Amino acid sequence: MQRREDEELAKKQRHKEMMLQAEKEDMAMKKARKDEEERIEKEFKRKMMEKFREEERLEQLTMQRRRQKELDFKKEVEQMWQKKLEIYRQERDRELEEYRKQQEREEYQRQIVEQEKQKLLKEHLP
């Protein structure tokens, strides 16, 4: 009886540790995704602004036209970035969902193995 309680307690502890680890991994993935998004955004905007400055230099527009063009360009860059970010997030969400499904499959398999183990123990122990 004590052994069974100890096994049940150990099983609960393993499950708790596994869930904590999964949560920790999930948080790490979210942080990594956010950091990556910020890095990609900065690089994307830097390149786009660099391109814009080169175009500006070559065109030598009047000051007023230049300011308006810069505002319009920034707006366009932001719209382009938002589209790119949305695609990136959808991709990451699919990856995260695949990861979660894999974790669920593995947990289900662990439960089946544990159930079969318990069943065999009950059948073969007096």
Q: Quote the mean pLDDT of the chain.
A: 88
Residue 61: its pLDDT value, please? Answer: 59
Q: Which residue has the higher pLDDT, 69 or 114?
A: 114
What's the whole-number mean pLDDT along residues 95-117?
Answer: 93
Q: Specify the pTM.
A: 0.45
Residue 56, class by beta-carbon neighbours within 10 Å (0-12 exposed, 13-18 middle, 19+ buried)? Answer: middle
Unique residue bearing structure tokens 């949560």: 23
Q: C-alpha 76: how far from its chain's center?
A: 27
Query: Residue 126: which pLDDT band, with cuts at 50, 70 and 90?
Result: low
Element (H, E) at 22: helix 2-59
